[in-house]
Every structure is written in structure tokens, then in C-alpha cells.
Structure 1
Amino acid sequence: MELGAKAPSLLKASLGRTGKWAGSVAFVSGAVSDVLNPLAPFAAYIALVAAVAAVIIAIAVVLKLVLAAKAVPALIFATSAAAVAGGVYGLQQQTNSQNGVIASLVPAVAELQQSMGIVAEKVAKIEQTVTQTQKTVEAVKQSTDTVAKQTEEIAANQQQQTAQGAETQKTVEAVKQTTDTLAAGQQQQVAQAEKLQATTEQIAASIDTIAKGFAALAAQGGAIADPKRPDEYYHNARVYELSGDMLNARRSYLAFAGFDVDAVDPYTRFATLLRVQDGKAGAREVFGALSDKGKALSINLVHLMQFDDVQRLDKLNAFIAAHADFAPAYFLLAQEFSEDRLGSQSLSDKRSEAQALTKFVAYEKDGGLLKYFVDQRELADWLDRSRSRLAALGDVLDPALFAPTLTPMRSNQGWSMTISLPEPATAISWRLGNSGPFTDTGFMAMNDQRTGKPMPNPSFELPDSTAATTIGIKYLDLRGRETGPFDISFDPDAALQQGAKQILDQFWTSWIAFDASGNHGLVYFSQMLSFRCAIKQVHYGLNGAALDKEIKMPPCDKKDPYAIPYDYQPYFKVADSVKSMSVQVTYTDGTKSPVREYKRQ
């Protein structure tokens, strides 16, 4: 009741104090909100806020939450602002003014709004720019993160590379150190090689001295009590060996080997002693150790000779390939193909032996073998054995003298070809022409005593229609090695004539037959008629007269060369006074037979 009585006077007093400035502020706020309407409905916002504030203040006054004297001026201001702003917003809605009521009435305000629009457009652009900038910032951040990550990886790689660089530096330094070491080693090896070469030359030059010393000691006889030189040790080894003292002989040979003398005969004798005592394996072991220590080629050569068969031959060939002028190797190579070593030799073995011995003997010229022997008697023995074997081998190196041959023999059915080989064979094959497969001749129903194996058939057949051609022959020797092929020319006409001529020459006593089979007064020449393909002319004379008569032969029938024509008489008549007949045949190759004389019985 008291508040109600005082309210009119309080309200009146408040209006008198605050109404003027509250209304003015409210009006200005409404005008400003109308001008800013293109940006946003600020009038509505102000009206709503002011109304809510007025209601709240009024409730607070009623509820005595605040003093009325203090709250009323605020209530008046909020109410005035709500009324003015609400009125402005109502006019805007009624007039449908997007840019506000004042702008529609005052052009200057419209221009100001346009400026405000520009600002708004710039603000929009700024917002867009800010948005793009934000995106850019995010992209930059992502790129920065990527770059940071890559930077970290690069840093890690750099650290790793730094570590690897350090390791590489260490490796380079190690390689450099190794290279320097190798270089120094190479220089040392070169120096050693030069020293070895000088030593080798010195030893080679001293071989003659050693040989002379050994010869003098051999003439003197007896063992040297305190040997110091290589010739003395070799002399003692021989003396102990002859006396049966193999232990001291062995010690002396080993002492000689310690001088690394490049002479072959002491080592071959030592190897023989070792094989007797320790077998081939023991000799191989001892010489293996010597060859590891020494540089003399003679030691290496004798060492490889302690291996077995094929392995020994392979090593010997490799040695010769590496040291082609080491003469003693050729003599030892010849022994690999000798009859003593093999028991029986093939033609290839003989040729290999002859080639090696020829090479060895060739080094004798100008004393080329002396530098390899301490005991000159050993060299003389090697040379004697070489010359003896070369004499026994004869012309084995002449290929023309040791080629297969063919002996064609014509029959009424065709050709029978007999093969002659220069050595025993274990298989024979042939072919017609220069190409194509070979045909094996097969085997006979007997063994060849020279090989101990079935004897290959030395012949084959060809039809009588065979034209002139080349026949290839090849065979396997007694060690199963293929030899050939050999190409042999075959001319049927020449072969027919040659075969007939051979028979006529071989059986010339059958050319003429007087009074054969009781036919008195007839002279038969059937054999000459059968082999007439080799005959050009036949002249004869009777009772020692000149050969002024001729027996006319029918032409050669190549299809049936030995048949006598049915209309031809193989004889002629002679008088009883004919006691002898002289005959000479001229062959188709132009040669003539001796004058053959036949007496009548």
C-alpha cells in the first residue's frame, strides 16, 4: 500500500530526471539500428533485449529485490528503448524497407549504407580470405608436419650417412692399408723373384760344377765323411744305395734336395728308392712336401710322376704346357705311351711316343740337355733309349704309310670291299660318300688274339651299280679310341681293271694251256679271257719267234665281267711242230707284262 501510494510521485520524479536523456538515447539507438538494418535487424534485437530488461526490472521492484528509487530510472530507459526500437522495427516491417525507414526518406543515409555495404562486402571478403587463410594455414601446417617429418628422416639419414661415412672412411683406410701392404708385398715378391731368378741362374750355372764334382767323387769311390756340397750328398746317396744302406741313402737324397738343385736325375733315383720303400703314395707324399718348399722344376716334375695313370698324364701335359722348354719332361712323356708301360701299343700310342722322343732328342743339339743332369751317364742312358725306340718305331709319324686301304673285288653279284688297317681294331665302320651315318661292319665268329676281343669283320658288300664315289673308313683302336675317318676314292672301272690285272700277274702260269683236256692241237687262253677287262692287247710268238701274232679279245662286259661270250671260242689250233709259245700282255693302264714262255708237253 505504501509502494502504491508512492509510485505516482516516484514515477513522475524519475521521468522528470531521466525521461529526457532516456528518450534521446532510445531514439538515437532506434535511428542507428534503422541505419544498420542492411547488416542485421538490430532494431528487433534492441527491442527484445530492452523489453526483457524492463520486465526483469519491474519484477525486481515489485518483489523488492532492488530499491525502487534506483530501479525506476533503469526501468524507464529500458521501456523507452523497447518502445522506440519496437516502433522502428514495426515501421520497417510495414514499409518493407530492407535498408531501413530513414534510408528510404534520406538519400544521404542511403549513401552511408552503401558505404556500409562496401564494408560488409569487404568483411565478407575478409571472412572468405580468413577462411581460405585458415585452409592455407591447415595445409601449411600439414606441409609443415610433413616437412618436419621429412626433416627428421633426413636428419636420421644424415646421422646414418654420417655413421656410414665414418665406416666407409674406416674401410677406405683399411683398403688403403691393405693396398699399401699388397704393394709392399708385391715389391717384396718382385725382389724375391729377382733374387730367385738370380739364384736359379747361379744354380743352373753351377750344375756343370756339381756334375764335374760328382764325376770326380764317383771315380774316387767311398762315402764322404762330412759332406757339405750337393755333389757330395748325391755321391753319398748313390754309395749308400748301392751298399743297401737305404736309411742313409734317403737322408743324403733329402739333404741334396735341400739345395734346390734343378737337375732331374737325382730326384728320379730318389723317387725310385721311395717307391720301393714306401710305395707310390709314400713317394708322392715326400715329393709333395719337397715341391712345397723348393722352387726347382725338376722336383715338381718328379712329384707329378708319382700319381696314377690318367691323372699322371694330365698333370704331365699341364706341366709341359706351362714349361714347354723343359726338355726332360718329353722323355718322361714318351714313357707314358711306351710298350713297357702299356704292354701293347696302338698306332696312336706309337706316334705319341715318337713325337715326344723326337722332341727330347732335339734338345741334345749344342748341349741343351747337360744342364738338367748331374750324372752324365744318366743322360747318356736316356739318349740311348730314345734313339733305340725311334729306330724301332720307324716311319710311324708318316701318315701316308699308316692309312687304311680298300681292296675291291668284283664278282658276278657285285663288289666285295676288303679293308686293310694299319693296326688291330676293335670295331670298323664305313659310309658311302662324304656325309651321312657310318655303318658298322659287324664281327666275325672269332676273337682277335692281339686285342683279346671279337674280331671286327674287315669287309662289306656294294652293288655292281655303284658309281665312282668316296668311301669313308673309321675304326676303334685297341684302347677304344676312334681313328679316322679316312676318305678313300673308289672308281669301279679302275678297280675292275686293277683287280683283274692283279689276278693275271699272280696266276700267269695259267694264261696258256696246250692240248687241255685231251684236245690235241688246241691252245686254250680261258684265264686271260675271263680277266680280259684288264687287257688291252695280247701278242704271242711260236717256237721262239717274234711276238707278231695277236689274240683278239672280246670287249669287257662290266655287268658280267668274268663270263665268256657264248659265241666266242677260247682257243685256237696249232700244228704238231709247235713246241713252245711266248706271250706278252699289254694292260689297259698302259703297262706290259714280262714275256712269258709256255712249253708244250
Structure 2
Amino acid sequence: MTDDQSETLDGGTIGFTSLPEGVRQIGPYRLISEIGRGAMGTVYRAEHQHLSRTVALKVLPQELAASPDRYARFQREMQAIGRLEHPNIVLATDAGQIDEVCYIAMQLVEGVDLAQLIGDREILASGEACEIARQVALGLGEIDQHEMIHRDIKPSNLLLASNGEVKILDLGIASLRHTPTNADSLTMTGSFLGTPDYVAPEQISSGASVDIRADIYSLGCTLYHLLSGHAPFSGPEYKSLPAKLLGHAEKDAELLNHVNEHIPAELAAIVARMMAKNPNDRYRSPAEVVEALSPFCDGQMLDETARCFGEQIRARAKAALVSGGSPIGEDESTMIQQNVSIKKMPTWKKVAWGLAATLVVLACVGGYQGLTDAKQGNVKQVAAAEKIASHVGEIESDTGRIATSTEQIAMTLDQMQNQFREIASKINEDPQTPAQWYANAIIHAKSGNATEARRAYLQFFESNLNVVDPFQSFASLLRLQEGTAGARETFAAIPGDAALPARQLASIGLQPQAEQRERLQLLANQHPEFGPAYFALSETIQSKPPYDMTLTEKIAKKKLLDEYLRLHDIGQVLKYYLDQSQLEQPIASAQALIEKLQDVDEEQLNHPIKMSTDVSPVNVHEIMLWQGQLRFQFAEDARSPEYRFSAEDEFASLSPERPKQTTQFLQGIAFDPGLTTAETLTLPRANDHGEIEIRYQDRNGVARGPFLLPFDIRQTRQQKAIEWLTVFDKENLIAVSKKSIGFSGILSSGYDAIEQIRYGLNKDQPDQTFPIPTEILQRKLTSDETRVKPGSAIQFVVVQFAYKDGTSSELYRCEP
């Protein structure tokens, strides 16, 4: 079988997409280089000729264009995909057909797909893996909002960009598959769409309905793979495709904490729920997955991995040229491999790629120590204390040289920052200042010289310079080399003043997440002008978009970022960095979040509930009554809301056995993102005015309230009853005959408004009063109970209603 073919499930072959010889242009796109190829087409690095925009151009199988029905489907799906815009989804920018070639233009992202990542690492740290899954769930939330399903979430369809963002690839491509492919590749078999290692049970059954929960199942399988080193049903007993599919359909995967002893039982339970056989037993939405995984995420560790592999991708692009990869265009220097697979390469090419990857990892971490144990998941440790002791001894032997440099060490921060910019690209053979030592440390680390990198860092730490970036970069280096626990121990043993705020900040970043907030708060309290502490403190508030944050989190985050930016404005952030470029991202991030939180204030936190009153009609024994209602809008996701009318009452559920609804604030008050949980309470008849207490839990389970809200529906109820009375003619309200006067129409229509019915009969019986029956709400009244029989012939009657607010109606003159 050639490289251009792969096996189908029935043993046949399918040809990969290929372009005619010499084709270098598809519509407006000039092809630069081939990025990768698979059963659903070939991806090229291409440039839009008119916009000078570089894209990833996927050329789809030619048989797609040959079928009008399939091409029409392709067009519909591409229109739907074009509406998606989310940082965790690779954006589609264009799609079309030129002659018999169908193509999709997508955002070109430098990064590594997760299949490559776990190919290099096998097992990821739980903090990294959970952060990856959390970001994928955020992207799935956007897909779900557009009523779409991916259908093929798996490692090779997820890209870790060099900026730390995880992006979903190939949205909708799975649903275009028709021809069966190899069981190990993304497939539409004769009966399902998906990849056997990650497919949801309901996707296997042709009669089952599929929704976003199928993607949650596949994401659970992917997370299982990241944390265990293998797909959930991949042992010897699952070698055949039917056995693998039967595993997904009927068997439970072994719990993660049994496969990898370092996985917490709580996390294992989350993954197991994502992979539940019955969709109803899984998380109902991607947002719930985000919430469940957030406590286990380590975004900082993932950022470091992404930065390292960003350099690895560039090295792999160069290695591809040496080992046989050939660009289509002539500009080889600009070739960037977005996502080149090594799984189907000949052995000699794999060796070349593996060597290139190893060199880059060495450059990133200053000597690759092994990120994880391939089978056990244990982080490898190094003899840190001995190494540091030896380096400290070397530094002490150079004391004379360092002492002679006191004049240079005393440079101003501005001078050192300027010097760092000038020397950051080359080794200084005779470093005399902290800026030179730090620059050397960075260069040595990137070149893979771990010993010299550590020596330079330790020389810098001897200077006791209170700047953040050297400490943080050294901590990141240690984390990649030794894991978090090993890095924590090594970092604690470095020379210099352990009380420096910048050093404390880096040290806190290596502590367990549960301890970081308290330690950072103490650091900020002790050093209130140390600006970097406030941004770090804001990051301990769960890294969620504003619409997923509680009000308490929003207010806390806004306060910290406001203080961070205030200190930045007066120079109390910049002064703590040698490499000022490292401030660009946190400053931009703080400013963007402040913009999103600009409408949030303490008033909303203290009064998060808006209440309005209303009444609705209800028929009781043929009497139209107006029943009071209280409508509550919450400024955040309110869970388990409860109420009571007095301190003597027990709290009762405000929304028993029904899902919450969402609506905008009735009077235009919109908290970010403009949607709030809404609840309606029907008032007991006796409670037409007074106060009500409301309490609830926010989405983190924190109790809020009780909040005391006054209400009075009496006036509203009377106004509605009076309005209802005006709908009817007097003949419908007052029935007059020669022998009786009937008031049933008045009572049935205006009971809630009327205090008294007064009438005058003929000329000789003025100022009569009709007593309203006391049992009118307890039972249906008889005809006699709503009539007056004066005993003499009725010539005319004059009727007036006295309303409960003290006003009166017009006079009604009625004759038999």
C-alpha cells in the first residue's frame, strides 16, 4: 500500500486527495507548502493573493464535488460553520469550489495537535490535561449554541497553539464522510460517524439521536487518553473494530485513578461521568464540564508546554525539508508546519523527526529530564540540592570578581532594562551585571546548555534584585524539567534573599493551587505597592469568561485588576521586570477583562435581585379574582432559590422540580451577559403586601442572602379589577327586573375592587346598601344570594360602587 492510500473497513483502499501535477493555485489562493494529508483531504499552507493573508487551505476529496447532493450539504454545513467565532475553534474564513476542487480556507495556527503531544509525552500532568479539556468544552459550548455537533472530538482534531489556546479542528468534516476508511482514522463507517477509539455509544447505533452530549463523551475519552496514555478501550481484548465498538456500547472503562494512581478520585469520577453510556447520565452541557474541570486545571503549566512546542513546530518544519518534505512554492524559509503527523512515515523519517523534536525540547527546558514516566505517570526528579550546592560553591569562588563589579551592579533599573534588551540575543562572555547574567541564562536555556543556564540564574539570584521575570522563568524551567513538586523543592534552595517579593511570587506559583490565593493575599498585604501580586491574585479567581463567573468573583476580580492597572499607571509594575515585553500579555488581558466587567459594581453585589409585581386572573366559584405574583430576576446564576414571608416561617423552594428559565431584566437592567435567572412566585391570597426574604446559592455553592424585599400588590390588583369592570356594559353588571335587582355580574367581575355596593330604588328608597356575601370565596353563591327583592314594583334603580381605595364609580341608572 502506498503512502497515498489507506485501508477501508472492508479491506479496500481509498485514494487521498491529490491535485493535478503542476497545480500551484486554487482560485485566489497560491499554494506555498503541504502541511499534511489524510483521508478527508490535503491541507496546504496558502496565501490569498489579494488580501496577502496566509491560511490553511484544505482541499477535499474530488468525489465530493461530483455529487450534487453531497456538495449541497457541504455548502450548508460550511455556512453554519462560518457563523462560529470562538478562541477555542479554528475559524473557517472561506469555502468554495473551483472546477472540481472543493476547498475550505481556515485560520492558520502555529501549534501541535494532541496526538503529536501525547506521542511525545504519552501521559500529561492532570493540570495540563484538564486545562486542555476545559478549553475544548468552551469551544463545544459555542458549537452547541449554534445547534451543531462536532461528532469527532479526538486528540488529532485538537490543536495546542503556541499561545496556550486549545483549538477544535475539522468541525463538520466528519459529517461529510461517506467512504469508509481505516479503523484507526477519523471515519464514517457503514453505520456511524466518528473515530472508534472515541465514539459515543449513540453514534454507533443508526437509530439513536445524537446531540452535544456525544461530543462530551468523546471529550471524556480524549481526556482519559491524556491522563492514562491510552484510549479507554484499547487493550488486547479490543483489537478488532467490533470489540472496540462493543466496549463503548456496553462496558465501563477502568477508572482513571486505578490506571494512574496520581489521578484524584474526584477527577476520575468526572471523566467517568463524561463517558457514561446513557447520555442522560452525562453532563448536560459543555458549560457543566467547564465548571467540573476548573478546580483541576493548571493554565500556567499548559502555557509553558505550548511555548516549548511552539519552538518544536518550527524545528519540525525545518526537519521536514531535510527528511523529504517539499514545499510547493519556492520560499522554503517561510514554511511553517501547522500539524504534521509522524505516524505513517517510514522509520528513517521518524528518527529524523524525533531527533529534531528532542533538540527543541532540550532547548526549551535546558536539558530534557523527562516530563513524565511513560507508564507510571510519575514526574522524574533530579538531585537538585546537590546541583545547587555545587553551583553555589562555584559562585563563592568567584567572589573577588563579583566584588569588583559593584559599580556596574549599582546600575539603575532603567539602565539594566535597556542593557537586557541590547544583550538578550547573544552570550556575554564576561557577565558583570544582573542583566547580563539573566540574558545569559535565557540564551543558555534555549540552546540546551542546562548547566550554564543554572549557573547564570544562580549568579543573578545572588544580586538580590527584586524583579519578577528571572524568578518566574527559572521556576518555569524547573517545572518543565522536574515537575511541580521537584521544582518547588529546588526553587526553595536557591541563594539570595528569600523575602524578596518577586521571589515569593514565583515560589507561590509552584505551590498547590489550593494554597496560592491565601499566600498571594498575604504578599499583597505585606507589599501593597508590589503591582505584579495583584494580577497573580486575580488569576486565582477561576479563569472563566465573565458570563460563567459569580457576582462575588466578578467584583473581586475587578477590584484586583483595577488596582493592578492603577499601580501600572504609576510605574509600580514595570519596575519589577527586566524583560518589559513580558508585561504585554497581562496588561492586555487585564484591560480586556476590565472592559467586560465595567458595569459590575458593589450595588449589584449587595442587591442582586430585582423584583416586580403583577397579577393574573383566576376563576374561583365563577368569581374573577386577581392573584398576586412576584417576579424575580437574579444578577447571576441563582441555584436553589428559597423564600419565606416571616422569620417564623421555614424557607421554601422558589422553583420546585422545574428548570430555571432565562430572561432579560424587565426594566432593561442587564448584568453581563444580559441574561439572568428568572423565577415567579404566586402569592397566597392573604399575602397581598409585606416583605419577602430570598436566599440562594451561586454557581460555586456559596450561600447568598437572605435579601429582604418589600412588596404591595393591593393597588395593582384593584386597578386590574376596575379595568375588567369597564369592559362590560351596565346591563351585564346589573340585572334589573320588575321584582328584583341582580348584582352577580358586579360580584363576578369586580370583587377585588369593590368595597361596597350602594343603590337607590325608585324615588322613595334612596341610600340602600347591598351586603357582599361573606362566603363568596368559599362556595358558589345561589341566585338568591346575589339579588335584592324589594317587595314592590321596581321603576328604576341607581347604582354606585365604592372602591377599596376610597374612590367611587360613576352612577348607573337602570330600568326594568
* Structures share fold, TM-score greater than 0.5: no
Q: What TM-score results when the alignment is normalised by the length of structure 2?
A: 0.34
> For the pair shown, which has the larger CA radius of gyration, 1 or 2?
1
Greater helix fraction, Structure 1 or Structure 2? 1
Greater strand fraction, Structure 1 or Structure 2? 2
